[in-house]
Structure 1
Amino acid sequence: MEFYQLQSFLTVAREGNLTKAAGLLHLSQSALSNQIKSLEGEVGTDLFQRMPRGMELSFAGRKLLSHAETAVRAMEDFGTAARGLGDNLSGRLSVGLNTDPSFLRIADLDSRMGAKFPLVDLEFLPSQTLATTSLLNGEVLDVGFRFGKSGDNGICEEWIADSRFPFMHCYPVTNRERCFKNQLLHIIFSFCCRKSVEFIFLLK
């Protein structure tokens, strides 16, 4: 049983005339008649009574009419939904977060993405600046935040904004350098992974 057969059945039932229905379906009268006969052969009973004034539904045709309408409507809804999916991006997008979500304005990102791409599911994963490149290359992440450039030509990078980190001078002056480093680690730990901070001090 084919979709076009059900459409033909419904059109003939609605018009009550084979010639009118054939014109609406852009078919010859003989082609439409063959479709109806083929459908009747599949269901095992006559769907219409051929009358001098046109085509009338048989008892079986009246019983099956609502089922045909439901089937055709379901197929039309399916086609509409499928075309809608073709016009929109869909799937899951894994986003690596290298720092506090509020700093990266993730709530705003999630809201905007939901409005523009409702079929895309965002998955936020914790990451670190030094690990972002390997996670992208390993396809663990689809996109990721990081500080500074990766230097990897295989990754497309987009600058978002410059970040300023606070520095604090600590007193008393005794053991001043050690105090300064400890405070610095505490202040910027949420913006930079520990390895990066330690690397900065190794350069000093």
Structure 2
Amino acid sequence: MEIYQIRTFLTVARLAHLTRAAEQLHLTQPAVSKQLKALEQELGVVLFERQVGGMVLTREGKALLPLAERILFDAMEMINQARTLRGEVAGAVSIGTVIDPDTIRLGSFLSALLNYFPKVQPRLRHGISGWVLERVKAGELDVGFYLGPVTDPDVASLPMCNLTYLIIAPPSWEQRMQTASWADVAAMPWIGTPEGSSQNRLVRTMFAERGLTVQTVVEADQEASMVSMVRGSVGLATMRSDLAQDARQRGEVYIWEGTAQECPLSLVYLASRRDDLLVAACRKALFDVWPAD
């Protein structure tokens, strides 16, 4: 029995799909099938049933899954401990980023990471918060910056700060907004953000708590575009407080008072990888840049 066979078994079990597992493992589908078959022959049991929707664990596969996870964890722990003993933390680390680099202090974070661990090779991938979280859970990102509350028990997080979001409107709507109720605001046209983004979730939650939904007329994923559309009277939007205040000073937006909404910013990673050296390296660098209060 080889460690790579255990890793393949766990990957297929998690993704329930041979092709996607092969892509994540950087192998061909026949190679993945061959590794599974060899493992099944050695164990003397069938681990998966092939179904139309993908690969489904058998009763035996489900029973052996926790043992396989423990074996792989212990193997990685041994490798990490050996690296620690010889003073080496090295390798590529995939980092998911969100919003703008200055807000998450990305430059300072990477500087601290490379200062402590010069053999680490950061690989950055940018996206919305929901995308980052899913990639972390799928094992495609080692760590990621994330906006929003973390409720998944499989995901651990290191709090960084709370960002404040405000509702902004076209300056020409100021008189209209001053007398508007929450129901009035919900009925106005809205500039939405992609499903899975922190602002999308924030707006839905904010209005759902009041039994309301908003009317989205256009979707945007860049804050500069949102400011431009608000200025052009396309609709309302939510905006980070610092950006909203700057836009108001330039006369580009009106801020609906009394609507500040807090959104936590954190670094997320799989709870099962808490002691992984690359994850631990990122955590150490983060503590330097975002010290605990």
What TM-score comes out, normalization by structure 2 length? 0.34
**Structure with the larger RCO, 1 or 2 (CA within 8 Å, 6+ apart):** 2
Structure with greater proportional strand content: 2
Question: Larger % of helix: which?
Answer: 1
Normalised to the residue count of structure 1, the TM-score between the two structures is: 0.47
